[in-house]
Chains A and B, each alone.
Chain A
Amino acid sequence: MASGTYTQIVAPSHLAGPDRASRSGIWVGIFAITMSFAAFTSALYVRQGSGEAAHIVLPPVIYANTLALLLSSLTLEKARRGIAKGLGPEVDESAAGMAWLVVTLILGLAFVAGQCLAWRSLATQGLYLATNSNSSFFYVFTAMHVLHLFGGIAALAYLIGRLAGSLRTFGQSLFGAIAIYWHFMGVLWLYLLLVIGTRL
C-alpha cells in the first residue's frame, strides 16, 4: 500500500540493522557538525569580547537564498512522497517525485550561487576575509555552511543518478538519511542567519 510504503521510509523502527545504522549514522554526523559550529560560535563570542568592529549589513540576497533553501526542504519532502508512491502501483507518481528531487537540487545550487553573490556584495563594500573580525566570521560561517551543503548536493546528485537507473533497487533508508541531512542544513542556516544577523 502506498501509505505503508511511505511509512517504511520515515519510520526507523521498521528498518533492519544496516538500514537503522544509516539513520543512526546521519544523526551522529549531525551531532558532530553541530559541535563544530558550536566551536565556531564560541570563538565568535570570545573574539567579540576584545573590541568592536563595524556592524555588517546583511546583503539582501541572503534572504532570497534563505527562502530558496527552506523551499528546497519542502520540495524534497514532496519528492519523497512521490517516489514512495511510485514503488507501488502508482508508477506515474515516481516521475513527479523525480522532478521534485531535481527542483530540490536546483534550489540548493541556487542557494550556493546566491551566497557567492552575497560575498561579492560584501567585497564591493571593502569587507574581505581579513578586514575585521566581523567580516572574518561572516565569511567563515557562510563558507563552512556552503561546504557542508556541497555534501548534501553531492548526495542528492548521487540519489538522482541511482533513481534514474532503477527505482526498485534504491535504498529507502539512504533517501531518509539524505533528507534528514538536507533539512539539518536548512535548520543550521537559520541558526547561522540569526547569529550573523544579530552578532555581526
Chain B
Amino acid sequence: MEEAVVPAAHVHAPPEGFIRKHVFSLDHKVIGKQYYGLGLVAVFIGMGLSWLMRFHLVWPTTKVPGLELLSSTGAPGGVITPEYYLSLLTMHGTLMVFFVLTNAPFAGFGNYFLPIQIGAEDMAFPRFNMMSFWITFCAFIVLILAFFIPDGPPISGWTAYAPLSAVGKDAGPGLAWGQSLWAMSIAIFCVGQLFGSLNFIATTLDLRAKGMTFMRMPICTWAWFITSAIGLLAFAVLLPACLLLLLDRMAGTSFFIPAGLVISDRLQNHAGGSPLLWQHLFWFFGHPEVYIAILPAIGIVSHVLITNMRKPMLSAKVLIYSMMSIGFLSWMVWGHHMFVSGMNPTSSLLFSFPTLTITIPATIITLIWLGSLYGANMQINAASLFALGFVSMFVSGGVSGFFLAQPSIDIYLHATYFVVGHFHMVMGVAAIFGIFSGTYFWFPKMSGRMMNETLGKLHFWITFIGTYCIFMPFHYLGLVGNVRRYSSFVDDFMAPLMPVHKFISIAAFVTGAAQFIFLYNLIHSRFRGKQASENPWNATSLEWSIPSPPPWDNFGGKHPVIYHDPYQYGVKGSKGDFVMQDSPEQV
C-alpha cells in the first residue's frame, strides 16, 4: 500500500484497559460490534415474541409454561389474553424495526466498515459515536422495562396511534407506564440515531482518503451515507412526535386527543387535538424509516454480489443514483399508510403517484442485479447465497407493494395480512438476509476467523424455504379478508383459514429454530473457526487491504492512496482476476 505524504493525525490515542477497549470504546469497530450485538439480542427477543404470537393464534387456550411469571395479568396460568397478544405484537414490532433493522445493517456494519472503506482512521467524532451507542443501549433498557412493570407493555402497536396511545390507563392494560416507557425509549433512540447519522455524514464528506472520490466509494458506503441522510431528517421528526405524545400523556396537553372521548365510562379531560396529526408525524418518519431498514441491505448485498460474481455491476453509477432517488422520493409517500385514515381522498391520489414512482428506481436496481448476474462466474458461499436470496425476497416482497400503492385496492387490503406479508418479506426477511450476507462476508475481517460454510449453507436453505412458507401464505390470507392485529379469529369465514395459520406457525417454529444454527456458528467460529487471511474473498475494497482483524487505527498509522473504483474484477492483464482500490497497478 502506498503512503500518502500527510502526517498521520490520530483522532484518539490507542485504547488501554478493558473498559476503554471493550466497553466505553472510542473505536468505531468496537462500537459497530456493540450495535451488532445489541441487534442480535433484540432479534432473538423479537423472534421469541413472534413465536408466542404464532402459538397463541393457532392454540389460543393452550398454556405456555412459565409465561405467567412474566405477566400474571397478561398470561394468567400461562394462557395469553387478547390484550397481552397486542402487547407482544407491539414489542415485537418495536424491537425488530428499531433495535434490529436500524441497528445491525446501518449502525452495526456501517460503523465498522464505513471509515475503513473510505480510508479513514475512525469516524469524525469518536466520542459522539460512543455516546450514540450507549444512548441507544439506554433506549433498549427503557423499552425492555415495559415487560417487567405490573401493567405490562403497551397494546397500541409499534405505530402507537393516538388517541389509544395518548389517553392513558383508561384505555386498557399497558397504556399507563407501559406506553410512557415506550415513548421515552423511542425518544432516547431518536437522539442516539441523530448522533450516529451526524457522524456518518461528516465522516463521509470530510475524511475520505486521497483519491477516494465519491464515485470510487463502494456501493455499501453510498448506501450508509444515503441512509444516514434520511435518518438524520426522519428521526428529527419522530423525536418531536414522541415528545408531544409524552406531553399529552403526562402533562394534560391535547396535541393528539380530541374532545368528548368517553373511555371506560370516563370522559377524558382533553379537547381539540388531532389523532391524524400523530399519524402524519409518525409516518413522515415511518416511511423513510423503512428505507433506512432496506438501503443498507441493498448496499451490502450489491457489495457481496460484485465480489462473488467476479465482475462489476452493469452500472454501479445508475445503482447509486437509484438509491439516491429512493432516498429522495421516500419523503413524499408517507400518506400511503393513511389511505383509509379519513384524510382527504385527493391526498390519497397525491401520495399514490410518488409511491408508484418509487417502484421505478427499485426496479432499476433489481434489473441491474439480475442483468449483472447473467454471465457471472458466481462463487457460491453462505454470503453470496444470502445475497441472492435477498434479491428473491426483495422482488417477492416488493411486488405486493404495487397493489398496496393504489388507494382503491388498499381500501380492501389495509390492515389485513396482505400488508403484514408485504412488510415482513421486505423488512423481516430481505433486510435480515442482508444482515446475514454481511455477517458471513465480513466475519473473517472482524474476527480473523472463517465461519463454517456447511452450517452457513444449511442455515440459508432452511431460512430461505422457511420464510417463503411463513410469509407467502400471508398474502393469500389478506386477500380473503384475514384482519391483522387480532388475537384470535372467531368469525365463521375464518374457520377454513385455520389450517393455513397452523402451517405458518409450524414453519415459523422450524425457521426460528434454524437461526440457532447461525448463532452457534457465530459463537463457535469466533473461538474455533479456521484462521482467515487478509483477503479471503479476493475482494477489492479497502477493508480487505488491512489485517484480519484490523488494528485499532485501521491502517497502522499509514494513509492509503486510492487509484481505482472497487469494481476492478475480471481485469485483463492484472495479477489474479482483480485489482484492489489502493493498488497503483495500471488497468
| A contact residues vs B (CB 8 Å cutoff) | 16-18, 20-22, 24-25, 28-29, 31-33, 35-36, 38-40, 42-43, 46-47, 49-51, 53, 129-130, 132-133, 136, 140, 144
Contacts and interface: CB of A to CB of B under 8 A. Distances in A.
Contact of A43 (B199, B201, B236, B277): B277
A173 to B, nearest CB: 11
B557 interface: no
Given A43-B277, A47-B272, A144-B243, 8 more contacts: A21-B124, A28-B198, A32-B197, A35-B233, A39-B236, A129-B252, A133-B254, A140-B247
B495 interface: no
B75 interface: no
B222 interface: no
Given A31-B232, A50-B272, A18 B124 contact: yes
A42 B233 CA distance: 15
Contact of B241 (A20, A24, A33, A39): A39
Nearest to A29: B198
A36 B237 contact: yes
B462 to A, nearest CB: 42
17 contacts: A17-B206, A21-B202, A21-B205, A22-B124, A24-B206, A35-B233, A36-B236, A39-B241, A39-B284, A43-B240, A47-B272, A47-B277, A129-B247, A129-B251, A130-B253, A136-B247, A136-B255
Interface string B332-357: 00000000000000000000000000
A17 B9 contact: yes
Interface string B269-304: 000111011001100100000000000000000000
Nearest to B209: A17
Interface of B: 9, 11, 120, 124-125, 194, 197-199, 201-203, 205-207, 232-233, 235-237, 239-241, 243-244, 247, 251-255, 258, 272-274, 276-277, 280-281, 284
Contact of A40 (B197, B206, B240, B258): B240
Main secondary structure of the interface of A (DSSP, over half): helix
A132 B9 CA distance: 55
A35 B236 contact: yes
Nearest to A133: B272
Contacts of B277: 43, 46-47
A16 B281 contact: no
Q: Which of A32, A51, A53 has the most CB of B within 10 A?
A: A32
Give the top 6 A-B pairs by smallest Cβ distance, nearest first.
A130-B252, A21-B124, A35-B236, A21-B206, A25-B202, A39-B240
A174 B233 CA distance: 24
Main secondary structure of the interface of B (DSSP, over half): helix
A179 B87 CA distance: 47
Contacts of B273: 47, 50, 133
Nearest to A51: B272
Given A24-B202, A25-B198, A18 B236 contact: no
Contacts of A38: 237
Contacts of B9: 16-18
Contacts of B276: 46
Contact of A17 (B207, B235, B258): B207
Nearest to B228: A28
B124 A130 contact: no
Contacts of A51: 272
A113 B492 CA distance: 66
A25 B125 contact: yes
Contacts of B239: 36
A9 to B, nearest CB: 17
B274 A46 contact: yes
A130 B240 contact: no
A178 B456 CA distance: 50
A102 to B, nearest CB: 26
B432 to A, nearest CB: 28
A144 B125 CA distance: 25
Contacts of A132: 272
A18 B207 contact: yes
Nearest to A49: B274
Contacts of A32: 194, 197-198, 232-233, 235-236
Nearest to A25: B202
B445 to A, nearest CB: 24
A47 to B, nearest CB: 6
Nearest to A12: B206
A129 B251 CA distance: 7
A130 B258 CA distance: 14
A109 B155 CA distance: 43
Contacts of A129: 247, 251-253
Q: Which of A36, A42, A140 has the most CB of B within 10 A?
A: A36
